[in-house]
Amino acid sequence: MATKLFVGSLAWATTDDSLKNFFSQVGAVASARVITDRATGRSKGFGFVEMANDADAQKAIQELNGKELDGRAIVVNEARPMEPRNGGGFGGGRPGFNRGGNGGGYNRSY
């Protein structure tokens, strides 16, 4: 079973391929992905590597955590499950008020 690892403190120049090649030193890599900003396409400085099995994942944590990749010392940990998100930035407030409008102001009912 594949084990997902979080990789932090990545250099801006690190790519999916360079990340995969770096981790393949210690075992079989199922996938490697540097997370990028949607708007700019620039790296966010972290990524995820999926190792083919748990033994390779533990070896990667032990041997690669703190090692230098593209000029930066990286952080390698087992990835935690993603936290559930709220439904977005809308909503809240009191029910029945300000639905669909910009709210506030004086409402005259003739």
User: Structural domain boundaries of the chain?
Assistant: 3-78
Amino acid at 79: A
4's enclosing H/E stretch is strand 3-8
pTM value? 0.76
Average pLDDT, the chain: 88
101 in the Ramachandran plot: left (φ > 0), alpha (ψ -120 to 50) or beta? Answer: beta
Q: How confident is the model at residue 13 (pLDDT cuts 50, 70, 90)?
A: very high
In this structure, which topology does domain 3-78 adopt according to CATH? Alpha-Beta Plaits (3.30.70)
CA diameter of the chain:
77
CB atoms within 10 A of CB 85: 6
